[in-house]
Structures are given as C-alpha cells and as structure tokens.
Amino acid sequence: MELRSISLDERAEFIRTVTLGFGHSITKEPSEPRLGKVETDRTRVVVDRGQFVGWSGAYTFRLAVPGGASVGASGVTAVGVKTTHRRRGILRQMMTELLDDAVERGEAAAILQASEGAIYGRFGYGLASDSCRLRLDARTARLRPFDDPGTIDLVDGKDRRQAVGAVWGRIWDRRAGGLELPEVFIDARLEDDPDDRDGASELLCAVHRAADGTVDGYALYRLKPSWGEDGNPDGTVKVWQVEAADDIAYLALWRFLLSIDLMTTVEAYPRPVDDPVRWALTDPRHARIDLVGDELWVRPLDVAALLAARSYRVVDDLVLDVVDDTRPEVGGRFRLTTSADGTGSCARTGDPSDVTIGIAELGSLSLGGVRPSTLAAAGRLAADAATLRRLDLLFSWDETPYLTWGF
C-alpha cells in the first residue's frame, strides 16, 4: 500500500470517496468551488491496488485565540479508512503525516471536528469548544425593545457572497475559535447544493445595513414549511448562521427571523452555548437549548507560540510541564509569564514545574473553553487547590470559544 498526496486530477475521486465514506450519496460531479477547496499538497491517502483505502486532508487556516490574535492552524478534515482495511495502522500513518506537515509549515496547532469523539484524543487533540442547538418559539418569543436605525434586506447571488465575505472579514477573530477562511471556502459553503436542503428551501440570506448603508450583519437560513393536523401553519426556520459586527445588528436579525410568516419555530444549529439572544428575550422560557456537544478540537504543535499569542486576564508566572506521549519533542517545560496589559510570553525553561499537564488537556485550555479545575475534577489534571485557582484565573476568558464556520 502506498501513502501519498493526491494530484489535481484526483480531486473529484477524492471528494467522491470522502462523501461515500461519511455515508452520503453522490448525485453529481463536484463543483468548481468544492474542487478548489482541496489543497492537494495537504491531502494524504493510502492506495491499495489503485483504490483509495484511506483518505485525509487539511486546510490552511488562521485560528483566533482569546484577545483577537491568531495563529497558523492545520484544519484536519475528511479523515476515513475503508471498512475492508481497518486495523492496519492506516489512520495513524495519515494522522502522523498530517501533523508532520503542519510542523514543517510552522503552524502552532492542528484543529478538527470529530465525527467520533473517542478517536482523536490519542493523537493529542483536546476538546476546546462546544456548540448547541437553539430552538425559539416564533409564536411567543419576543425580544426586549431596542432602537435600530438600520434596515434589513434579502440578497442573493453576488450580493450575498459580497455581504457574507465582508462581514466575516470584520468579525472572524473577535471570538476565540474563529477562522480566517480562504475565499474559495466561502464560495463552496454558499453553493446551496440541493442535497444539503433536507426538504427545506434554498439558502436564503438576510443582511442588516447600518444607517450609512454599510452591511454589518447577515443571517443564512432555510424555510421548512409544514401544516398541522388542525390546518394551521407549523413551519420551521432552519438557521445556519447569524453573524454581525454590532450588537444591535445581531438582535435585529434575530427579530427578523422570529417574524417570518407561517413559521412557528426558529431552530439554529450550531450556536455558541453562551449565545446572547436567549438573554434578549422578554421571557427566556421561549428558548430551549439542546444538543450541546463537542465542536472544535485543538492539538498544540508549538506550545510556546500558541500560549504567547493569546491574551490573559491576570498577571502571573507559572512553569508548565507539558507531557506529549505521541510527539515528545512538542512537550517539555514552559514558563508562561503574563503582564498587566494582557499579553503573555512563553518559552522553554529548565526551572521546576508548578503543574504537569497533558498535551490534549492543554489543547482544551488553550482557547479558554474549560476551567482547569473542571479538568482536575474529571481526573485529567492534578494540582493543589491554590495552583488550580491560579490556573482557573489564568486560562479563563470573557467569552466561550466557538467555531462559527465548520469545516
């Protein structure tokens, strides 16, 4: 069996293989944007007798960290092994190659969304952010009064692409877990493939314009009509994204979504677990949160670069003994020093450590999505009470991390 990257001519076959590997049907040839997303030099496939029996790839991203800075990140994706070739070390070979490639490119971390949560911890990935599904009763949910000097319009085609790209370019790094996206990545996600509709309408886009006409927010959604046995409408607004550069624009878009005719439910997935819209309702019981689960996994590859890039809320000086069983060269002792202006510095040191932490656990902490004391309670980290209090203050952040744009 041969382990290699794919050629440009093999992109369509690669996409078809990945699509079938994740249990989806193939009804047509991949589009140009989908082909363009594939970074052939970042793919790794295993070929046996002319067929792909293992497949994987990565995207080149910038990952936002707490405080608005970002680091280079390898967005690992499309990982799978043919059922006939399991238990032969194919997955480990591909994952090792992808991480080797990311290290050579100088990326501080590898990130992924896991199809199965039990797989990637053994490769050093730690769960760093969650998402949830938000359901609002459009018949009764109302937002608290607010003044909006702007307007909302429906756009499509070129206008939709420009609006989404412009807003995303302004906001992607405002919350840890955001990604700076290649343009072709946005094109591919806005294609509106009928296979993605699940019985709902085409992808619709509402944009919010500020008083000066500037687009400062958008909502991407579908409508899924339904009629109850009593003859009354019972449709659902299926929301994919609501993003805005301004709080008023954000609330205005939600008010619009709750006012669409013939729809009784607004269902948004995925959403951040601390989505403020629930707190903007006159009655929070008209919103329900469910399907809380893992979203973004982080695997540190350059500990010093990853920790020095983010911001901190307290002044402290700690030595972390980072243990990395699969890539020992990544681990070691690191002194993390934070300043009153929120910046931090991190470098290798030979000084005694204050706490020992696994590489996956460090990945979980890197974006501020979980408290070290929570990991300690789960048996994932050991430290005395005083050190845990310091760690909790050090790694916490104002907002929970959130992967707005999945990959």
Catalytic residues: 120, 407
**Rounded-to-integer distance, Cα 383 and Cα 35, Å:** 48
Q: How far is CA 244 from CA 74, 259, 373, in A?
A: 26, 19, 33
Q: Half-sphere exposure of residue 249, counting CA atoms within 13 Å on the CB side?
A: 24
How would you classify the pairing of strands 344-348 and 126-137? unpaired
User: Residue by residue, what is the 3-state secondary structure of 147-182?
Assistant: CCCCEEEEECHHHHHHHHHHHHHHHCCCCCCCEECC
How would you classify the pairing of strands 126-137 and 263-271? antiparallel
Nearest 10 degrees: Cα torsion 53, 57, 75, 345 = 100
Helix boundaries (H) for 108-261:
157-171, 183-189, 247-257
Task: Decide: 141 and 278 in contact? Cβ < 8 Å.
Answer: no
Give the contacts of 382 (CB within 8 A, at least 6 positions apart): 355, 356, 376
Q: How far is CA 329 from CA 257, 318, 323, 359, in A?
A: 50, 20, 10, 11
Closest CA to 188 of 407, 353, 345: 407
**Rounded-to-integer distance, Cα 14 and Cα 5, Å:** 10
Task: Decide: 357 and 323 in contact? Cβ < 8 Å.
Answer: yes
